[in-house]
């Protein structure tokens, strides 16, 4: 199979074992490709994380490609058919850790940007890449730090495509135009430990908690909206008891999570949970943690340009979706009015023998290129 510029760069990236938070030289490699095209590169490092902000141009509109060079751990090496950091071509696939998530998107970004600049050296507007090595991990020193730096110096982002692998059945079928928020709670219901044969001398916190939990489970938090499904409350863990069958425990700990839409706020959900708990007259304490707020980009120039590019390149009619977990789009949305996610198939992400069809690489690059042309050259049409 012909070795395209995208495939060559994908292989070079996969060969670098950039397990979170290591970048393993990936971002320097990107600048080797972007520098000759006039991109200035800035490293924004924090907490052992390497972040890259590479920009060409100083006028608007600014189109940003965002992604991460870090990958998840490989898992047992003996279960891989090949070394996960030695990219190989097998039956029309490029195989290796990060092939789908998301070194192929990054390679396609870079080549698309190079081809656009080569064809339109005097193009209006600006192009930038925001790349982190801390997306698959805690995500506290990565994209969020770059966004804070950009905001502090007044850089205005207009459009951003995050290269997460969003396609499900075929390249181009899904664009993520938002994500639900994620908030977890650790609820401790307090009782009184005692002998199980003398329940009158104890208070069973599991029994106290059960009606309240049932109320939380059956509560309708919202009904969603045009873009989001209804907010979901799910219990993930329950810990209680001493391990002995004849002891009433002194407390029970319940871990739960909300995946919530833009119809709710963390504050409103917390208030409603505590109101339900108080109505059941239980003694409790609760700890909250928010890992991401919801974000939404309604249909507008960016999603329309990307949808047209997908249709022109693949013939696929893309659907807008907000399903799935969180992404770094939640940070970028704080400083950019239009943020969407689009990338290759996600069938093997985080799996043993992660791979991507080589036939997707050129169309993916062309979709990004067409989108750039649509957004930056619209006044020349």
Active-site annotation holds for 255:
no
Task: Kindly state the average pLDDT of the residues 204-221.
Answer: 98
Measured CA to CA, the distance from residue 270 to residue 222 in angstroms comes to 14
Measured CA to CA, the distance from residue 306 to residue 291 in angstroms comes to 28
Rg of the Cα atoms in the chain: 24
Active-site annotation holds for 158:
no
Binding residue positions for Zn(2+): 68, 101, 136, 164, 350
- How does residue 365 score in pLDDT terms, banded at 50, 70 and 90? very high
Q: What would the DSSP string read from start to end of 16-57?
A: S--BTT--TTHHHHHHHHHGGGT-EEEE--BTTB-EEEEEE-
CATH superfamily of 5-179+294-380: Zn peptidases (3.40.630.10)
- Residue 351: is its pLDDT beyond 80? yes
The pLDDT assigned to 2 comes to 52
On the question of a common fold for 5-179+294-380 and 181-292, the answer reads no
User: 267 burial class (0-12, 13-18, 19+ CB within 10 angstroms)?
Assistant: exposed
> Rounded mean pLDDT of the chain?
96
Measured CA to CA, the distance from residue 19 to residue 72 in angstroms comes to 6
The pLDDT assigned to 1 comes to 42
Q: What would the DSSP string read from start to end of 305-325?
A: HHHHHHHHHH----EEE--SS
The pLDDT assigned to 8 comes to 97
The pLDDT assigned to 378 comes to 80
The pLDDT assigned to 291 comes to 87
State how beta strands 62-68 and 159-162 pair.
parallel
Task: Kindly state the average pLDDT of the residues 195-209.
Answer: 97
Fold that domain 181-292 belongs to in CATH? Alpha-Beta Plaits (3.30.70)
- The structural domains of the chain, with segments of one domain joined by +, span 5-179+294-380, 181-292
Q: Which of 23, 134, 135, 360 is catalytic?
A: 135
Task: Kindly state the average pLDDT of the residues 122-150.
Answer: 96
Q: Are 368 and 112 in contact (CB under 8 A)?
A: yes
- Residue 367: is its pLDDT beyond 70? yes
Using omega within 30 degrees of 0 as the cis cutoff, is the peptide bond preceding 225 cis? no
- Residue 252: is its pLDDT beyond 50? yes
Task: Kindly state the average pLDDT of the residues 292-313.
Answer: 95
Percent of the chain with pLDDT over 90: 95
- How does residue 80 score in pLDDT terms, banded at 50, 70 and 90? very high
Q: Are 189 and 254 in contact (CB under 8 A)?
A: yes
CA of residue 276 relative to chain centroid, distance: 32
252 vs 326, higher pLDDT: 252
Predicted confidence (pLDDT) per residue in 32-77, tens digit: 999 999 999 999 999 999 999 999 999 999 999 999 999 999 999 9
Q: Which of 23, 70, 313, 354 is catalytic?
A: 70
The pLDDT assigned to 324 comes to 84
The pLDDT assigned to 380 comes to 59
- How does residue 92 score in pLDDT terms, banded at 50, 70 and 90? very high
The pLDDT assigned to 325 comes to 81
- How does residue 292 score in pLDDT terms, banded at 50, 70 and 90? confident
Q: Are 126 and 61 in contact (CB under 8 A)?
A: yes
> Which residue in this structure is represented by tokens 């409103």?
268
- Residue 243: is its pLDDT beyond 50? yes
Q: What would the DSSP string read from start to end of 275-294?
A: HHHHHTT--EEEEEEEEE--
How many CB atoms neighbour CB 352 within 10 A? 15
The pLDDT assigned to 381 comes to 53
* Lookup: tokens for 271: 């208030």
């Amino acid at each position: 199979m012909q070795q395209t510029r995208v495939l060559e760069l994908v292989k070079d990236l996969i060969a670098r074992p950039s397990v979170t938070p290591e970048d393993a030289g990936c971002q320097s490699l990107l600048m080797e490709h972007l520098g000759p095209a006039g991109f200035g590169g800035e490293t924004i490092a924090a907490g052992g994380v390497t972040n890259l902000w590479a920009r060409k141009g100083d006028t608007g509109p600014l189109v940003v490609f965002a992604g991460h060079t870090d990958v998840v751990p490989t898992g047992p090496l003996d279960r891989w058919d090949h070394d996960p950091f030695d990219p190989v071509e097998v039956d029309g696939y490029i195989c290796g850790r990060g092939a789908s998530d998301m070194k192929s998107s990054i390679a396609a970004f870079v080549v698309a940007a190079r081809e656009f600049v080569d064809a339109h050296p005097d193009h209006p507007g600006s192009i930038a890449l925001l790349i982190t090595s801390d997306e698959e991990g805690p995500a506290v020193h990565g994209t969020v730090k770059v966004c804070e730096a950009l905001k502090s110096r007044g850089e205005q982002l207009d459009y951003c495509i995050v290269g997460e692998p969003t396609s499900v059945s075929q390249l181009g079928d899904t664009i993520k135009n938002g994500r639900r928020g994620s908030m977890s709670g650790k609820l401790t219901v307090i009782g009184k430990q005692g002998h199980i044969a003398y329940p009158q001398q104890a208070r069973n916190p599991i029994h106290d908690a059960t009606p309240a939990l049932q109320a939380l489970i059956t509560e309708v938090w919202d009904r969603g909206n045009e873009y989001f499904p209804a907010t979901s409350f799910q219990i993930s863990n329950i810990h209680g008891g001493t391990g002995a069958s004849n002891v009433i425990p002194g407390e029970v700990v319940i871990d739960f999570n909300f995946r919530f839409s833009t119809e709710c706020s963390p504050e409103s959900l917390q208030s409603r949970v505590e109101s339900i708990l108080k109505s059941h007259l239980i003694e409790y304490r609760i700890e909250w943690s928010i890992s991401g707020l919801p974000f939404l980009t309604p249909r507008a120039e960016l999603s329309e340009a990307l949808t047209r590019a997908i249709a022109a390149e693949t013939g696929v009619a893309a659907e807008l979706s907000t399903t799935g977990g969180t992404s770094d789009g939640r940070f970028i949305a704080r400083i950019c009015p239009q943020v969407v996610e689009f990338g290759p198939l996600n069938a093997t992400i985080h799996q043993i023998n992660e791979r991507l069809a080589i036939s997707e690489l050129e169309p993916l690059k062309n979709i990004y290129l067409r989108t750039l042309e649509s957004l930056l050259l619209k006044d020349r049409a």
